[in-house]
Structure 1
Amino acid sequence: MTLTPLVHWAQRHEEIFLRVELTDAQNIDVQVQDNVLRFRAQGYGAKGLHEYEFSLEFLFPVKPQVRHKSTQRQVNLTVLKEQRGWWERLTPQERRPVFLTPDFDRWLDESDAEMEIWEKDEKRSRLRTAKLKGEGFISLKTAFLFVYNLVQFLGFSWIFVNMTVRLFIFGRDSLYDTFHTMSDIMFFCQILASVEVLNAAFGVVRTALIPTFIQVIGRNFILFIILGSLEEMHHRPVVFFVFYLWSTIEIFRYPFYMLGCCNTEWKTLTWLRYTVWIPLYPLGVLAEAVAVIQSIPIFDETRLFRIPLPKVIGTSVSFSYVLHVYLIFMFLGLFINFRHLYKQRKKRFRTQKRKAN
């Protein structure tokens, strides 16, 4: 009696991956006719050494050529889609066959698959850059990105080191003069960070625009509006925590990008870049939220940035109402960016694990 093997599947925009659970497979016969894949082989499956076969009709047209590779543990099939796109399922029937299951080792959702494409393009770009460097040239883009990340790294490192030294020397007193001692460099670094939004918007670097925009605009709002415009906030300890958490994250992020410009990787730094944000990023947003909450009564008292209404109404609205709404969007932005960063981390280490295997 012919048996059916267990089959795992995953997809990319141009390919379908099938992994057949069949050990030491022999006499493998794979064909695609009328958009139906038929597989037959002899090997060790769930029922021992037998002949196993299955047929699979695809949701959309595929090319007749099928690549297959047999290992001691399984048979890997690669089927090319006729048209590039993302399928909501593999078969025309909404209920998948009982022998078919997702391949979680290779499974990606559509956004992760697009990120994988970006990373492949970036890798090819780096290889071209490395080739040019070997010939004695370096692209203006690479030089620009390296210098930008170097300047940001030096700026945030200066802030981090100075704040740490002052904390050990002056203790709690250092919490109350952070703005006056560190604000100039922080202003410079955060204004310069606006370049990252432009880089993402114009494709200078392959990264998601919305998370970058949220982070840069959010930080500049806190720095210039909440802290910079209110002298009463300059001596609050919350300024110390905001600046310290920001700089701690960036002293790992920017050198990681610098090494990327040189087509080099330091595994320890890579791990830190994709890990330290897990506790620090939510803490940073929490510190920013505390600063916003502390500034609300000050805006009410000083009437700064009050929003004028039409003369018919004859009054104005306190800026504190805007801040109440901003607090909601702040935590929405936390969710969006945290999800984005988590996907980056998961994709990065899943790729490294796959390469190691």
Structure 2
Amino acid sequence: MSRHPTVKWAQRSDKVYLTVDLADAKDVKVNLEPEGEFSFFATKDGVPYEVDLKLFDRINVKESKLNIGARSIVYVAKKLDKKWWQRLLKEDAKPPAFLKVDWDKWIDEDDENADEAGHEDHDDKEKKRKKRKKSKKKKKGLLQLIAQKLRFACISKE
């Protein structure tokens, strides 16, 4: 009997990220059909791991990419139609317990549309956030210095 590895997913309007978390996987076999059928098989320490998923919509297999790493297997599946899916799986049922959202890769539909409209990308947002944080620290330090001087001035007058 095979086990299920943890599978994380995230999407954009044009692609779906499927990450199988299985470190040191051997004999990895991954298959993606145009109809959206994703299958994975591998072994780890002699134990078989297997996943079969029927994705929400069709996939462009030729433009999809597979990366087999030491810690995980990442499949970037190119959607046939550029649109946001309501969910990952075709079935409108509770997803299996081994299927998780990949919050590291997740982006909301609104955020993607803002980026496409010429707004700043993630790196620019991160730089601005760090700059604001640094600026707040400077302001806080200045206010503390002023308060400290006022306290000393009040004490010295007594």
Structure 1 CA distance for aligned equivalents of residues 127 and 70 of structure 2: 34
- Aligned ranges 1:1-357 → 2 under 5 Å: 1-33=1-33, 34-43=35-44, 49-65=46-62, 66-94=64-92, 95-118=94-117, 206-207=118-119, 271-273=130-132
Deviations 1:21-79 (A, max 9, x none): 10112222111234211111123xxxx65221111111111123442212221111111
CA contact (8 A) 1:23 1:74 kept: yes
Structure 2 CA distance for aligned equivalents of residues 269 and 207 of structure 1: 13
The one-letter code of the counterpart of 2:98 is F
User: How large is the Cα RMSD of the aligned pairs?
Assistant: 2.9
Q: Compare relative contact order (CA 8 Å, sep 6+) and give the higher one, 1 or 2.
A: 2
Structure 2 CA distance for aligned equivalents of residues 23 and 11 of structure 1: 23
Q: TM-score, normalised on structure 2? A: 0.69
Q: 1:272 to 1:81 in 2, by over 3 A?
A: same
Q: Secondary structure at the match of 1:23?
A: coil
- Structure with the bigger percentage of helix: 1
Query: 5+ residue gaps in structure 1?
Result: 119-205, 209-264, 281-357
Q: Secondary structure at the match of 1:24?
A: coil
Q: Secondary structure at the match of 2:113?
A: helix
Q: Which residue of 1 aligns with 2:155?
A: none
Structure 2 CA distance for aligned equivalents of residues 49 and 7 of structure 1: 20
- Structure with the bigger percentage of strand: 2
Structure 1 CA distance for aligned equivalents of residues 115 and 119 of structure 2: 11
Q: 1:207 to 1:51 in 2, by over 3 A?
A: same
Q: TM-score, normalised on structure 1? A: 0.33
The one-letter code of the counterpart of 1:67 is K
Deviations 1:66-96 (A, max 9, x none): 4221222111111110010111211122321
Structure 1 CA distance for aligned equivalents of residues 43 and 30 of structure 2: 12
Of all paired residues, the percent bearing the same amino acid is 26
Tell which structure's C-alpha radius of gyration is larger: 1
The one-letter code of the counterpart of 2:28 is I
Structure 2 CA distance for aligned equivalents of residues 113 and 54 of structure 1: 29
Alignment length (residue pairs): 130
